[in-house]
Amino acid sequence: MVRYIIRRVLWGALMLLVVSALTFVIFYLLPSGDPAQIRAGRYASPARIAQVRHQLGLDRPVYYQFWLYMKGLFLHFDLGTSFKTNLPVSDEIIRRLPVTFSLAIGSVIIWMAIGIPIGVISAIRSRSWLDRSTMTGSLVAISAPVYWLGLIALFLFSKDLGMFKLFGGSGSYVPFSEDPAGWFSSLVLPWFVLAAAFAAFYARMVRGNLIETMSEDYIRTARAKGLSERRVIFRHGLRAALTPVVTMAGLDIGALLGGAVLTETVFNIPGVGRLAYDSIVGSDLPMIQGTVLFGAFFIISANLIVDILYAFLDPRVRY
C-alpha cells in the first residue's frame, strides 16, 4: 500500500511536469496577444515593448524560459509573478481558493442531496411515470449549458435584475468571514446552477447502478434471509451501488476545486476559475501556468485519494 502510494505520487509529479510543459508549448504555439505589448500599454513605443519583453524574460528561448520556471517551481515552490499585476501567482491563487472551495463544496452537497435520492427512488420505482419523468428531466438538466442556465437563474431570482428578487446576483460575492448571510445569498444561484447537471448525472448513475445491483444473486440471498425490503435495498443494494458513486464524486470534486470556469464567469465570482479565464484573456502566462497546475494538482490528488479510498470501500481491492 505505501509503495503503491509512493509510486502514484511520483507519477503525479511527472504528470504535473508534462502538464506545465504542454501549457508552455500551447501558449507559444497558439495565437494570443503578445504579453509584452499588453503589459507595456496600447501606445507604447517599440523600445518600451522590447524593454518589457526583456524584463519578463520573454526574449529568451522558450526552453530556457521553461527551465527557469521549473527551477523556481521545484526549488522554491515559486510559481512566478503575474505579468499583469506583478503579484506572486501563488498568492493570487491561494487568495481565491476559499472562494472556489465555497462554490464547489456547496454544490457537491446539493447535487448529492438531490441526485442520490432521485436515483434511488427511480430505481425502486423503475419504469413508473415518476421514474420516466425524473429521467427525462435529468436529460434536460444534463444537456442545459451552464452559461444558459446561469443567465436564466439570474433573470429569475437575482436581487438586481431578477423577476423574483431573492438571492444575490452576479458579482455579489462576499467572503464568509465578512458577511455569512451575504456569502450564502450570493452563492445560492451558482450552487444550484453548477449542481444541476451533476445532480442529473448522479441520479442516472445511482439509478443504473442500483437497478443492476438489485438483480444480483446476493440480493436474492438477502431477501431469502427474510430481511425487510427496506433493509435489502438500503443496506445491501445501496452499499454496493454507491461505491462507484463515491469514486465519481471524488474525481468531480477534484476537478471543481481547480475552478468552475463557466459558473464563476457567469456569476462573476472571484474564484480560481475566473482567474484562469482572465489570465487567458490577458495572455498572462505565469498565471495561466499557475491555475492549470493547481487544477491538475487537484485532479491528480483526487484520483489518488479515490483509489486509496476504494480499497476501504471494497475489500476485494488490494494494492
| Distance in angstroms (rounded) separating the CA atoms of residues 156 and 176 | 24
Least distance (Å) from other proteins to the CB of residue 242?
A: 10
Nearest to 196 by CA among 162, 153, 160, 233: 153
Least distance (Å) from other proteins to the CB of residue 241?
A: 11
313 binds other proteins (CB under 8 A): yes
| Distance in angstroms (rounded) separating the CA atoms of residues 282 and 268 | 17
The three-class DSSP label of residue 286 is helix
| Distance in angstroms (rounded) separating the CA atoms of residues 239 and 314 | 10
Least distance (Å) from other proteins to the CB of residue 265?
A: 42
Instruction: Round the CA-based radius of gyration of the chain to a whole number and report it.
Output: 24
Residue that has been written with the C-alpha cell 497558439 in this structure = 30
Which CB atom, from 188 or from 227, has the smaller least distance to other proteins?
227
| Distance in angstroms (rounded) separating the CA atoms of residues 215 and 210 | 9
Least distance (Å) from other proteins to the CB of residue 124?
A: 12
Least distance (Å) from other proteins to the CB of residue 254?
A: 24
Which CB atom, from 45 or from 228, has the smaller least distance to other proteins?
228
User: Binding mask 181-220 vs other proteins (x if CB under 8 A, - otherwise)?
Assistant: -----------------------------------xxx-x
Nearest to 113 by CA among 52, 199, 184, 189: 199
User: Binding mask 50-79 vs other proteins (x if CB under 8 A, - otherwise)?
Assistant: ------------------------------
Nearest to 153 by CA among 143, 165, 142: 165
Which CB atom, from 7 or from 220, has the smaller least distance to other proteins?
220
Angle 97-296-55 (CA atoms, 0-180°, nearest 5)?
75
Total residues at the site for other proteins (CB under 8 A)? 21
| Distance in angstroms (rounded) separating the CA atoms of residues 203 and 199 | 6
User: Binding mask 216-255 vs other proteins (x if CB under 8 A, - otherwise)?
Assistant: xxx-xxxxxxxxx--x----x--xx--x------------
User: Binding mask 282-301 vs other proteins (x if CB under 8 A, - otherwise)?
Assistant: --------------------
C-alpha cell at 179: 458577511
Which CB atom, from 232 or from 262, has the smaller least distance to other proteins?
232
Which CB atom, from 42 or from 316, has the smaller least distance to other proteins?
316
Which CB atom, from 54 or from 225, has the smaller least distance to other proteins?
225
Nearest to 273 by CA among 172, 198, 177, 190: 190
- Contact residues toward other proteins (CB under 8 A) are 216-218, 220-228, 231, 236, 239-240, 243, 313-316
